[in-house]
C-alpha cells in the first residue's frame, strides 16, 4: 500500500498537471473563437466565388474551351495522384491527426495508391513525418502554420501545388482534412480538386440560398476571351478551396485541442478526488493504529 507521503506527492503532481491542461484548454478555446471570427469574412468570399464558378458552368463556358490553354481542366491519364494532407504540427489534439491519416490510408487503398504512384503534399508536421517514414514522395512540406493562418501565409503552398500540377508531377489532386462541425465534432473530408471538370465544379458551387442571395446570372459577356477569363478565375477558385480547407482544418484542430485538454483536466480532477479519498483512508487507518497502540500501552502499564 502506498505511504501517505507517496499519495501526497501524486496529489501535488496531478494538481500541477491539471493547472497546465486547464490553461491549455482556455488557450485553445480562445484560439478557436479567434479563427472563427477571422475566417467568417473569407468564407463569405469563397461562397461568392463558388457561386460565380457554378454559374460559369451553367453558362456552358467550359464546354468548348481548349484544355491546352487552361491546364487546370485538362484531362490526362492519371499516372500519379497527389494527396494534399492537412494535419497539425504537434500532438495533444486527441484523435485529430490519427483520424486524418487512417482515413487517408483507406482512400489510398480504395484508389490502389502506394509509394510508386502517390505524391504527398503535407501541410502540418504530423502528416509529413508519417508519410516520409513510410517511403512516400513528400513533394511539399509546410510546417508552422499559424493559429489563424492568413492567405499570404499559405500563398507559397498554393502556388507550388498549382505549379506541380502544371508540370505533371501528379495528374490528379485530392485534398484531405478534418472538417469542423462543432466544438465536439469534426468529420473527415476528401475533395478531388484537380483536374477541374464541369461536374465537379457544379457540385462545388454554392447552395441554392447563396445563389439567390448573390443573384448571379448565367449570362456573361466575355472580354477579352473565355480562355483569358477562366485562366484567372479557375486558379483563384482552386487556391480558394485549398486555403478554405486549411482554415477549416485549423479550426477543427483548435476544437480538438480544447476538447482533449478538457478531457485531461476532468481526468485529473477525478484522479485527485480518488487520491484524496485514498489519502483520507490511509490517514484514518494510521490514526486508528496509533490509538490502538496507545491504548495497548496504557493497558500494559496498568
How far is residue 27's CA from residue 95's CA, in Å, rounded to a whole number? 19
What is the enclosing helix (H) or strand (E) of 40? helix 4-58
Q: How many other CB atoms are found less than 10 A from the CB of residue 141?
A: 17
Backbone angles phi, psi at 9, to 5 degrees: -65, -45
Domain at 4-25+260-301, CATH from 3.60.10.10, 1.20.200.10, 1.10.287.80, 3.40.50.300: 1.10.287.80
In which element (H, E) is residue 294 found?
helix 226-301
Q: CA 100 → CA 95, 165, 178, 192, distances in Å?
A: 9, 23, 6, 16
| Helix axis angle, 125-133 to 96-110, nearest 10° | 50
- Where in the chain do CATH 3.40.1380.10 domains reside? 30-256
For 55-73, write each residue's pLDDT tens digit.
777 666 666 666 666 777 7
pLDDT digit string (tens) for 186-218?
889 888 888 877 666 655 554 444 445 545 555
DSSP for residue 182: S
CATH 1.10.287.80 boundaries in the chain: 4-25+260-301
Say which residue the cell 495533444 belongs to: 92
Mean pLDDT of the chain, nearest integer: 82
Residue among 5, 22, 54, 79 at smallest CA distance from 258: 22
Kindly give the pairing relationship between strand 118-123 and strand 81-86: parallel
DSSP one-letter code for 139 = E
pLDDT in tens, 112-158: 999 899 999 999 889 999 999 999 999 989 998 888 888 888 888 88
Measured between alpha carbons, how far is 178 from 102 in angstroms, rounded to an integer?
A: 12
**Class assignment of domain 30-256?**
alpha beta
pLDDT of the residue at 209:
47
What's the pLDDT tens digit per position in 211-270? 455 455 556 666 677 777 777 777 888 888 888 889 989 999 999 999 999 999 999 999
Amino acid at each position: 500500500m502506498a505511504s501517505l507521503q507517496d499519495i501526497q506527492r501524486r496529489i501535488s503532481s496531478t494538481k500541477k498537471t491539471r493547472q497546465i491542461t486547464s490553461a491549455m484548454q482556455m488557450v485553445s478555446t480562445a484560439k478557436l473563437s479567434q479563427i472563427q471570427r477571422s475566417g467568417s469574412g473569407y468564407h463569405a468570399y469563397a461562397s461568392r466565388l463558388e457561386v460565380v464558378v457554378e454559374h460559369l458552368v451553367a453558362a456552358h463556358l467550359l464546354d468548348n474551351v481548349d484544355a491546352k490553354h487552361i491546364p487546370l481542366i485538362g484531362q490526362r491519364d492519371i499516372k500519379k495522384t497527389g494527396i494534399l494532407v492537412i494535419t497539425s504540427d504537434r500532438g495533444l489534439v486527441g484523435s485529430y491527426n490519427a483520424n486524418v491519416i487512417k482515413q487517408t490510408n483507406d482512400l489510398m487503398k480504395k484508389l490502389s495508391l502506394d509509394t510508386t504512384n502517390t505524391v504527398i503534399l503535407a501541410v502540418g508536421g504530423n502528416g509529413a513525418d508519417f508519410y516520409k517514414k513510410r517511403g512516400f514522395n513528400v513533394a511539399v512540406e509546410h510546417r508552422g502554420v499559424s493559429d489563424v493562418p492568413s492567405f499570404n501565409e499559405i500563398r507559397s503552398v498554393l502556388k507550388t501545388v498549382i505549379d506541380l500540377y502544371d508540370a505533371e508531377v501528379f495528374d490528379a489532386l485530392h485534398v484531405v482534412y478534418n472538417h469542423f462541425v462543432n466544438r465536439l465534432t469534426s468529420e473527415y473530408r476528401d475533395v478531388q480538386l484537380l483536374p477541374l471538370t464541369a461536374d465537379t465544379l457544379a457540385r462545388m458551387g454554392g447552395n441554392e440560398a447563396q445563389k439567390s442571395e448573390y443573384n448571379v446570372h448565367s449570362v456573361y459577356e466575355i472580354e477579352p476571351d473565355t480562355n483569358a477569363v477562366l485562366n484567372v478565375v479557375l486558379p483563384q477558385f482552386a487556391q480558394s478551396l485549398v486555403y478554405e480547407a486549411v482554415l477549416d482544418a485549423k479550426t477543427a484542430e483548435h476544437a480538438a485541442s480544447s476538447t482533449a485538454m478538457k478531457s485531461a483536466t476532468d481526468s485529473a480532477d477525478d484522479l485527485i478526488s480518488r487520491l484524496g479519498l485514498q489519502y483520507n483512508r490511509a490517514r484514518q487507518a494510521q490514526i486508528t493504529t496509533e490509538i490502538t497502540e496507545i491504548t495497548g500501552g496504557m493497558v500494559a502499564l496498568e
